[in-house]
């Protein structure tokens, strides 16, 4: 079967699950991630429960492109576009005043970590789904982030509604850099 057809089939299965408020385990431009519809509060709550994570610990949201980013952030600072264009590895930016996402994704200080996906599968999935998707590492809170699909625990594998059948034989990348961009122009590196 041609690769393109297999990818489209996987995207269709993911969209079916995401549309019903389900959880997917999927390869991202960094590490394997647990994902859900970032606009669905109940779905986001399922991820917190699966990861045994306090819902005060925020998660990353993936968008397909700048247009989708602008739709979910009140004001994207100009410097954000330079950071996205010049970054040599996947870079997540924490923005002030997110909008149109689940309330339990937004931090107490009214910020949200968002990354424009650089991976083709993620870009196509999010573009086809037409909504941002949560991306959080595929581990229980406090445990080591899996570097390969094989390192993902049984609890996580059994806790999601669908496991994407792509790139399972490849090593994951490393977690993204995280930069906080305040609307006041202050740039703070949270994770290199």
pLDDT of residue 127: 96
pLDDT at 53 over 90: no
Q: HEC profile for 73-135?
A: ECCCCHHHHHHHHHCCCCEEEEEECECCCCHHHCCCCCEEEEEECCCHHHHHHHHHHCCCEEE
User: Are the C-beta atoms of residues 128 and 73 closer than 8 Å to each other?
Assistant: no
Phi, psi of 35 (to 5 degrees): -130, 160
Closest alpha carbon to 60 in 146, 132, 168: 132
117-135 pLDDT per residue, tens: 988 999 999 999 999 999 9
Whether the CB-CB separation of 126 and 11 falls below 8 Å is answered with: no
The parent domain of residue 116 ranges over 3-191
CATH code for position 60: 3.90.870.10
The pairing of beta strand 177-181 with beta strand 91-96:
parallel
pLDDT digits (tens, 9 = 90+) for 66-98: 999 999 999 999 888 988 888 888 899 999 999
Q: Which two tokens stand for residue 161?
A: 């509604």
Q: What are phi and psi of 12, to 5 degrees?
A: -60, -45
Q: Give the global pTM.
A: 0.92
**CA pair distance 39, 73, nearest whole angstrom:** 13
> Which of 4, 26, 12 has its CA nearest to residue 133?
26
How many structural domains does the chain have? 1
- How much is the pLDDT for 10? 94
Q: Is the pLDDT of residue 1 over 60?
A: no
Q: Check if the beta carbon of residue 93 is closer than 8 Å to that of residue 79.
A: no
Q: What is the length of the chain?
A: 192
Rg of the Cα trace of the chain? 16
């Amino acid at each position: 079967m041609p690769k393109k057809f297999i990818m489209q089939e996987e995207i269709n299965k993911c969209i079916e699950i995401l549309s019903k408020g389900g959880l997917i385990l999927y390869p991202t431009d960094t590490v394997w991630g647990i994902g859900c519809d970032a606009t669905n509060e109940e779905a986001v709550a399922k991820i917190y429960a699966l990861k045994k994570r306090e819902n005060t610990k925020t998660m990353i949201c993936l968008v397909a492109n700048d247009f989708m980013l602008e739709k979910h952030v009140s004001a994207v600072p100009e410097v954000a576009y330079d950071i996205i264009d010049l970054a040599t590895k996947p870079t997540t930016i924490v923005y002030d005043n997110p909008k149109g996402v689940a309330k339990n994704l937004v931090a107490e200080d009214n910020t949200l970590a968002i990354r424009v996906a650089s991976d083709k599968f993620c870009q196509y999935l999010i573009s086809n789904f037409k909504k941002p998707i949560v991306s959080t590492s595929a581990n229980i809170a406090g445990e080591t982030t899996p570097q390969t699909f094989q390192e993902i625990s049984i609890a996580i594998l059994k806790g999601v509604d669908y496991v994407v059948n792509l790139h399972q034989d490849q090593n994951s990348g490393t977690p993204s850099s995280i930069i906080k961009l305040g609307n006041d122009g202050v740039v703070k590196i949270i994770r290199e």
